[in-house]
A and B are shown apart, each in its own frame.
Chain A
Amino acid sequence: MGRRDLSVGGQRVNAPLYFSVANACLRNRAVLLYGGMGANKTTLVNLLGCSFLSLGLEEVEDLVISGHPEQTEEKIVGFLDPRQWAEPSPGPARVLWTGWARSKWKLINEINRFPGGKQNLFLEILQKRRISYAGQVLTPGDTCYFATMNPEFSSTYPVDQALLDRISACVPATQPDFLAGLLLAERERDVRELAEELPRFTAGEFEALPGLVAKKALKSQVELAILCLLRDFTLCERAPAYDKSQLSKAKPSLGLCSGCHYWNNPEAVCWQVDEGLSDRVRQDLRAFCRALAFLLDRDADLQVLRAVAPYVIWHRVTPLPSALDKPPYFGAGRLAYVADLVDRSINRTMNERAEMNRIYSRAMDGQMDAGRAIEELSLFDDPIARMDFIASLEQRVK
């Protein structure tokens, strides 16, 4: 049930469902379901938890922490065991970890209802994969992280950019459409009964899933397209070391690109987004391409990358408002805008960039003189050729 809003080649599937299942097949990745109230975000993750962890719905619901301004670290991760002070010879401090902290299935509900200070707690957990409290450290092991987020309501807080970068994929969850509403109206059983009927994974099967996903090999095309995609978003002629992630106050949206050679060239991505992409994006793209290919029983090819990449990137970047505000995006189609950028980058890599990539590779392998390669590459008007390839070959010539 639900809109089939994710197209992978010819296959159309429901994005929140498939990304959530893909995340359940991976470890130490985080999927953020983004949408308004009643879009079944939490229910979906809880039902999947029942199936993958072989638990009852109530047990899975206990593994959820929900955001509100009075939420404390003690309620989230654990607290000092008071019984230790009544013991005659107290040893090292003992912490009573919460079920959420110990679980390998963590749902952070309404993450943007946590104030900024509390959000930093998740930043640490997602970054280090460890939970620390009162000098004690809990290592829950490989975990599936989920989060939900509402649009910016009055009682919500902005989500930290660094935290968003730790979110592997952000998937919009929409309200049930007409047909889904009809099916829901006809269904007499409630969600608890549905949860009981779901097939259950054994613990062994659940543990084996990441290994099965890892067996899916990524094609060279996909690896190359991912590399170029990251460089397309990150390279900037005017940034220090050509790295857009070095920018602080000067940004494309603040006039950095005015008069630049690439400005207003739709083939170039650099001027269209403010932020560069971190290496986490590369890891997330590779992991989710594999997982989705595994779920759909197909090769991890460019079609999969085209489908996955917008969801992995769109929450990490801020598109140029003057471009996003125009039709067909109308200021609201941020995911669609990023999807167009991704498409253009992949098309460019697989077509126009073929010649320059080959020249560079031959020069790097010593099959071609580096000086001549620089000369030939200088004829290509492409950020990667100019700022990456030529720069690295120049180092070689020196």
Chain B
Amino acid sequence: MKLSRFMEDAYQGTAPARRLKTQSKSLIFSLEDLADLVGSRPRREDVEQYVSEDRGQIEMLLSVPPARKHALLWGYLSALLAERSEGPLKLPGRDYAGLEMRRGWIVLEGAGSHLGEKMSGGRIIVQGSAGECLGQEMAGGGIIAAGCSDYAFRNMRAGFGLIRGDAGKFTGLGNRGGRIVVQGSCAERAGWLMHSGSLYVRGDAGEYLGLLMSGGRITVRGRAGRRAGWRKKGGMIAAAAFGPEAAEDVSKLQLV
């Protein structure tokens, strides 16, 4: 029998069905499964492609503490779930929570490092203190935390960050926009290489405040450490008091 007759007999005149589908999403039960598909350093689009619209699947994936190599995946998933949630999403404090988040709310009791990294919308509220690199490369949205460690809001482009307590070293390093408010004090080199945006510190600031800054505005209501505005090329620093060797154009803040 000719092969085409055999096929026609097998399909008995049925119309050709849809083309073959690949990359179905139903067999992703763990972050390992997802990592097999997208790798451990994926783009957000890759993760979105494989995760279904079903909230249950994302919740299941988020429920297990991720291995260190899957922290980015966990972060993307937390952002996707927050975006798909109607109310605030409560999550355990882990690294990369809210990674590249675009909208929605996340509430955490404490936080690991890289919280809200590259987020462009929505709000993240940390009831405790956040780790390093909080809001790094933020492009929108806002983060409120009780405190934070070093490198908070590094390379921030837009959005706002509010630290209700103290901030660590290098806060606002290389900022090109956005607003940062520290209600406590911040350690050394806040506003280092700042290009634009604003940094407001209610308490004291450490030494080398605004080091090499070229734009933006830094306001310290307490005392700035020594060498405030060291080698600055632009921007504005105002402090209620400042230590020795401050740049010439550092102005004294008149408190009312």
Contact = CB atoms under 8 A, between A and B. Distances in A.
Interface of A: 219-221, 223-224, 258-259, 261-268, 322-323, 326, 348, 350-358, 360-362, 364-365, 367, 379-382
8 contacts: A259-B36, A261-B22, A322-B32, A350-B11, A351-B18, A352-B20, A352-B21, A358-B7
Nearest to A379: B19
B23 interface: yes
Contacts of A357: 7, 10-11
Given A224-B10, A362-B4, A326 B22 contact: no
Contact of A354 (B11, B21, B26): B11
B27 interface: yes
Interface of B: 2-4, 6-12, 14, 16-24, 26-29, 32-33, 36-37
A257 B73 CA distance: 21
A358 B20 contact: no
Contacts of B12: 221
Q: 10 tightest A-B contacts by CB?
A: A361-B3, A355-B16, A220-B9, A361-B4, A220-B10, A351-B17, A361-B7, A224-B10, A352-B20, A365-B4
A360 B11 CA distance: 14
B7 A326 contact: no
A221 B20 contact: no
Contact of B21 (A220, A262, A267): A267
Contact of A221 (B2, B10, B18): B10
Contacts of B20: 267, 348, 352-353, 356, 380-382
Nearest to B27: A266
B57 to A, nearest CB: 13
Contacts of B27: 264-266, 323
Contacts of A379: 19
Given A220-B9, A224-B7, A264-B28, A358 B16 contact: yes
A355 B10 CA distance: 12
A265 B23 contact: yes
Contact of B4 (A268, A323, A367): A367
Contacts of B36: 258-259, 263-264
Contacts of A258: 36
B52 to A, nearest CB: 13
A380 B20 CA distance: 6
- Classify the secondary structure of B's interface with A: loop
A393 B26 CA distance: 34
Contacts of B21: 267, 352
Contact of A267 (B8, B17, B22): B22
Contacts of A350: 11
Contacts of A360: 3
B2 A365 contact: yes
Contacts of B10: 219-221, 223-224, 357
A178 to B, nearest CB: 34
Nearest to A357: B7
A379 B11 CA distance: 21
Contacts, number: 84
A149 to B, nearest CB: 31
A268 B24 CA distance: 10
A265 B7 contact: no
Contacts of A264: 27-28, 33, 36-37
Nearest to A349: B10
B6 A354 contact: no
A364 B9 contact: no
Contacts of A223: 6, 10
A259 B12 CA distance: 38
A209 to B, nearest CB: 28
A358 B33 contact: no
Nearest to A258: B36
Contacts of B9: 220
Contacts of A262: 22
B107 to A, nearest CB: 30
Output the residue of A264, A322, A354, A356 with the most chain B CB within 10 A. A264
Nearest to B37: A264
A355 B17 contact: yes
Contacts of B11: 221, 350, 354, 357-358
A259 B35 CA distance: 10
A379 B16 CA distance: 15
Given A266-B26, A267-B20, 16 more contacts: A219-B10, A223-B10, A261-B22, A262-B22, A264-B36, A265-B27, A266-B24, A266-B27, A267-B24, A323-B27, A352-B17, A356-B20, A357-B10, A358-B8, A358-B16, A360-B3
B42 to A, nearest CB: 13
Nearest to A263: B36
Nearest to B26: A266
Contacts of A322: 32-33
A156 to B, nearest CB: 32
B47 to A, nearest CB: 14
Nearest to B23: A265
A352 B4 contact: no
Contacts of B8: 358
Contacts of A259: 36
Contact of A265 (B4, B24, B29): B24
Contacts of A221: 10-12
Given A220-B6, A380-B19, A263 B14 contact: no
